[in-house]
Every structure is written in structure tokens, then in C-alpha cells.
Amino acid sequence: MLRLTRQADYAIVLMTHFAGAPEKKVQNARDLAKCAGLPLPTVSKTLKALGRAGLLVSYRGVKGGYSLPRPAEEITVAEIIEATEGPIALTECLDTATDECGIEFCCPVRTNWQRINQAVRDALRNIPLSDMATTVTFPPLEKVQ
């Protein structure tokens, strides 16, 4: 269906939340979950993935949480998607891991597939996170809980 996974969806929502808040603001998983109306374990899992990918920096301990490591203008939607669901490759052919498409000898379309993938990747790379935060005003935490 050419669908993003839910995790990627959540990731963009959460990242947008960071982009909307003051820079370097540390927010913890619990508050983010409440504000987004999502279950804490799910949010936590997503944030961890973003942390591993370097799209968020994490702070442990009581006053811990996450914050953006760089300005929202320098983070792209493509990065967020790749952080949660791996490299953007529309077909198995292009996943370098599995180059056994079975119909290879009769599948010279393969080289042309690169074109499709590149087009989609470029499209997503050209959308900065800051764009996703425009005209978006999240309600303050107090009003949510």
C-alpha cells in the first residue's frame, strides 16, 4: 500500500513536537505521550529509535528526556523515516541485503528502479522538519492531561 509504518508516523509527529518547542528544550517520554495521546510504551520505543539514529539526544536520570541535537531546519523528513524503518527502498531489489530477486536475468528493469527510488528519496529529503511545524500549534501540556 506504500504506507509508512505507524512508528514512522509517530516519529514525525513527535519530532514536530520538538520542532515547535523552544530549541534545546528537554522533554521526557511521559509528557510527550500524554500530549500526543499515544501510549507511553509506543512513544518510548519510537524515541529510542530516534535517539539511536542521532535525531534526538537523550539524557538519563530523573530530569532526563530528549531534545533536538540540531535546528529543525537541518533535519529532513527522509531522515526521520529512515531512522524508524530503515533505508528507503521501494523494492526488495534495491535492498542490497537481498539481491536474490530470482528473476534477475530477465529483470533489467532493476537499473531503472534506482530512478524511482531516487525520486522518492529526493522528494522526502527536500522537506525539512521545520516545514512540518509551520501553522502547527500543539496545546500546552496542562490542557491535555
- Helices marked H in 21-57: 29-36, 40-52
Give the chain's count of helices (H) and strands (E).
7, 2
Rounded Cα distance, 25 and 3, in Å: 31
Segment near a second copy (CB under 8 A), from 41-49, 58-66, 67-75, 116-124? 116-124
- Helices marked H in 4-39: 6-20, 29-36
Q: Is 35 in the site for a second copy (CB under 8 A)?
A: yes
Q: Is 65 in the site for DNA (CB under 7 A)?
A: yes
Q: How many residues bind a second copy (CB under 8 A)?
A: 52
Q: Is 88 in the site for a second copy (CB under 8 A)?
A: yes
Q: Which of 20, 21, 34, 58 binds DNA (CB under 7 A)?
A: 58
Any bridge partners for residue 76, and if so which?
128
Segment near a second copy (CB under 8 A), from 22-30, 48-56, 67-75, 84-92? 84-92
3-state secondary structure of 76: strand
Segment near a second copy (CB under 8 A), from 21-29, 33-41, 44-52, 65-73? 33-41
Rounded Cα distance, 16 and 138, in Å: 9
Q: Hey, what's the cell of 35?
A: 500530549
Binding residues for a second copy (CB under 8 A): 1-5, 8-9, 12-13, 16, 35-38, 77, 81, 85-86, 88-93, 102-103, 105-109, 111-112, 115-116, 119-120, 122-124, 126-127, 131-139, 144
